[in-house]
Amino acid sequence: MRKIKLTKGYYAILDDDDFTRLGQFKWSALEAKNGVIYAVRYDRDEFVFLHREVMGTRDPSVMIDHRNRNGLNCTRRNLRFCTNSLNSANRIKSRCPASSFFKGVSWDKINRKWRADIQVNYKRLNLGRFCSEKEAARAYNAAAKKYFGEFASVNLGVL
């Protein structure tokens, strides 16, 4: 593995073969709306993402997922083609304030219980209401594994 120096003090990681091919370009760090940092360069009036170059596509309709959710780890074993839904399944819980620490869990004020939901193929599925936040998180984890398999981003610390 080799590192490519980016702007803002960041580095991207590549396999040796890809470094030989892509290390000749000047790459920059770009923070996406979701807070993930990606390596990019500017070519002919468009951004070129390093992970897309590694996987051999610039087509924005083709989704590429970073298994470990690190946008700067562009090694081939960390990248995989996927659907938009599976790419979303591998996201961590949003950084915005919410009523729960866990992904897929919220407080139901009316029923005074913890509610678990999951989104599958653009449809929200209600997984039930629970007395404890951790129970709801476990329900979300089970559903995420069922629907998303290896792409599931589960809540940690709720076993």
| Tens-digit pLDDT profile for residues 114-149 | 999 999 988 999 999 999 999 999 999 999 999 999
The number of domains in the chain is 2
In this prediction, residue 88 has a pLDDT band, given cuts at 50, 70 and 90, of confident
Q: Provide the CATH number for the domain around residue 115.
A: 3.30.730.10
Q: Which of 82, 110, 132 is the last residue of a domain?
A: 82
Could you list the beta-strand ranges (E) of 1-110: 2-5, 11-14, 28-31, 37-43, 46-49, 63-66, 79-82, 105-108
Do 6 and 46 lie in a common domain? yes
pLDDT digits (tens, 9 = 90+) for 50-78: 999 999 999 989 999 999 989 999 999 99
